[in-house]
Amino acid sequence: MTPPIPPAFPAIRMRRNRKSDWARRMVRESRLSPDDLIWPVFLVDGDNIRQPVASMPHVERLSVDQAVLAAKEARELGIPCIAPFPYTNPELRDAEGSEALKSDNLVSRACRDIKDAVPEIGILTDVALDPYTSHGHDGLMDGDSILNDETVDILCQQAINQAKAGADIIAPSDMMDGRVGAIRKALDDSGFEDIQIMAYAAKYASCFYGPFRDAVGSESQLRGDKRTYQMDPGNSDEAMREVALDIAEGADMVMVKPGLPYLDIVYRVKSTFGMPTFAYQVSGEYAMIAAAAQNSWLDHDRAMMESLMSFKRAGADGILTYFAPAAAKSMLQD
């Protein structure tokens, strides 16, 4: 009988498996592919418009025709899904966010044109009122408080509006209680039983959404903060309860947001529920890397890929990221 090899140096040399690129490739545990990416894009009214977003280097607001080009680019790069977010003109914003229910609003027009031109990729639409309200909140207000059940009724109508326009995945990001179940029922009652729901299940009240609010124009409007509906950054068990509820209400996929500062939550959600689990690398995370790279303080592509890999390592099945096209290009080159 051969004696067991003692699991120690010098018999064990961990560096052997790292000695060259081919050896490292053989033992790599997590891999990234364009299939892992969902590309959020910002929309703006008009034609042939590409408007830089100051706080997000290389990110632009796109008119619908340009968003169609972006969808074509996504298809060429193998990115499976695109997620349009609107910059709504201030004069169209009101206390109820009524623009969200218009069948010809920016998101609806983008869904229709993208579906027409690029039927091979998925469209994920965000359900929440903040791009449309004069106060910048995700729901209806009564004085200083956000009304839950009244908001859920409107969110159901918003979801139906998006489904009619061609959205494939409805993603409620509002954090009202009970909205996933209500939206599921509303979709089913309208004959949209094949439309998926990706719930922003554990969404934290985070300062990392700052550049996004700049991009959709809700930052200057926002009265107060979102701490009565988005989660407290100190909580982890509560995230498990949120995710469990959304699954029970019919979510097909769950999401954790923000991403990098909440990788422990991504890991815990994936290992606890085994659901298709997504992470949103949000605008502020993007801005940190892009701004540092602009100053040559970080290598742009390496920081981008390392941050994306960390999501896969934590167990995410996919990542919503503004880096999607750049990352896909980098993956296809390697």
Catalytically active residues, by annotation: 203, 257
Of residues 4-43, which lie at the interface with ligand PBG (CB under 6 A)? none
Lookup result for tokens 């040399």: 13
- Number of other residues whose CB lies within 10 A of the CB of residue 102: 14
Does 214 interact with ligand PBG (rule: CB under 6 A)? no
Q: Are 124 and 132 in contact (CB under 8 A)?
A: no
Best CA proximity match to 219, nearest among 51, 43, 87: 87
* Smallest distance from ligand PBG to CB 85, Å: 7
Nearer to ligand PBG, 116 or 144 (CB): 144
Of residues 127-146, which lie at the interface with ligand PBG (CB under 6 A)? 128, 130, 138
For 320, the enclosing helix (H) or strand (E) is: strand 318-321
Taken as a whole, the chain contains a residue count of 334
Nearer to ligand PBG, 200 or 333 (CB): 200
Show Cβ contacts of residue 11 under 8 Å, excluding neighbours closer than 6 positions: 5
The residue number whose beta carbon is nearest to ligand PBG equals 212
Does 173 interact with ligand PBG (rule: CB under 6 A)? yes
Nearer to ligand PBG, 225 or 299 (CB): 225
- Residue 94 is classified by DSSP as B
Q: What is the dihedral of CA 145, 162, 182, 223, to 10 degrees?
A: -10
Quick one: residue 166, left, alpha or beta (phi over 0 = left, psi -120 to 50 = alpha)? left
Q: Which x/- pattern, by CB under 6 A, does the window 271-290 give for ligand PBG? A: -----------xx-------
* Smallest distance from ligand PBG to CB 276, Å: 19
* Smallest distance from ligand PBG to CB 279, Å: 12
Nearer to ligand PBG, 38 or 71 (CB): 38
Does 96 interact with ligand PBG (rule: CB under 6 A)? no
- Number of other residues whose CB lies within 10 A of the CB of residue 21: 8
Does 195 interact with ligand PBG (rule: CB under 6 A)? no
Q: Which residues, in sequence order, are bridge partners of residue 43?
A: 62, 86
Question: Which residues bind to ligand PBG, rule: CB under 6 A?
Answer: 126, 128, 130, 138, 173-174, 209, 212-213, 226, 282-283
